[in-house]
Amino acid sequence: MSLRHALLGLLAERPMSGWDLTRMFDVSLANVWSARHSQIYPELARLQEDGLIDLVEQGARGRRVYSATDAGRQAVLDWLRGPQPAHTLRDEGLLRGFFAWMLPAQEAATLFRRDAVSSRAKLAEYNELAAGHDWDASPATRVQRVMLESGIRTMTVLAEWAEWAAEQCLAMEDGDDGA
């Protein structure tokens, strides 16, 4: 039910349409939780049925703008105050690393170096985001900057780690030569 709470949280900040919400999941939020419009629109219908959001405006091209109701806001607060969710990671890149021993050392090193490249690319993206924004505009944007920082720090260490991992592959080969 994370999508549900994410939508409510976004609509608690300001009224938005399904289209706007989809944009949010494409840009800032995408890095911790992704969702497509095909999942968002049906969920909005359910949230409205449950009285957690209200249709507050209808615009051009059938645009439907929603806002969180008091019950909706309360639902977010309950979620935030609830039990710590289990931190379940699913990362195919890291998964592949586990099987790097099947490759010749040079190729294994290449695999990890490619990880490093992709982590640095993410990092560059985050740094650009951090630079081109007024993060002091509101409490919501200030906390967004804090969340962005977690990405910046994580990608920094992952890039360093991947370079180190590549080195380890080569070092093992050298050390192992006679074994």
Number of H helices, E strands in the chain: 7, 3
Q: In what order do the strands lie in the sheet with 64-68?
A: 16-17, 64-68, 53-58
Q: Residues 44, 39, 144, 64: what is their CA dihedral angle, to the nearest 10 degrees?
A: -40
What's the half-sphere exposure (Cβ side, CA atoms, 13 Å) at 152? 13
Q: How many CB atoms lie within 10 A of CB 122?
A: 18
**Is the Cβ of residue 65 or residue 111 nearer to its own copies in the bound state?**
111
Beta-carbon contacts of residue 141 (< 8 Å; ≥ 6 apart): 133, 134, 135
* Residues of span 42-81 touching DNA by CB under 7 A: 42, 44-45, 59-65
Give, as ranges, the residues between 35 and 74 that touch its own copies (CB under 8 A): 73
Burial of 95 from C-beta contacts in 10 A (0-12 / 13-18 / 19+): exposed
**What is the DSSP-derived secondary structure letter of residue 82?**
S
Nearer to DNA, 42 or 104 (CB): 42
124 binds its own copies (CB under 8 A): no
The verdict on 88 binding its own copies (CB under 8 A) reads: yes
Q: Which stretch binds its own copies (CB under 8 A): 42-50, 56-64, 89-97, 127-135?
A: 89-97
Of 39, 48, 67, 118, which one interacts with its own copies (CB under 8 A)? Answer: 118
Interacting span for its own copies (CB under 8 A) from 14-22, 39-47, 124-132, 146-154: 146-154
Out of 14, 26, 27, 32, which residue is the one contacting its own copies (CB under 8 A)? 32
Residue numbers of the site for its own copies (CB under 8 A)?
2, 5-6, 9, 12-13, 28-29, 31-34, 73, 76-77, 79-81, 84-85, 87-103, 107-108, 111, 114-115, 118-119, 122, 138-140, 142-144, 146-147, 149-150, 153-154, 156-158, 160-162, 164-165, 168-169, 172
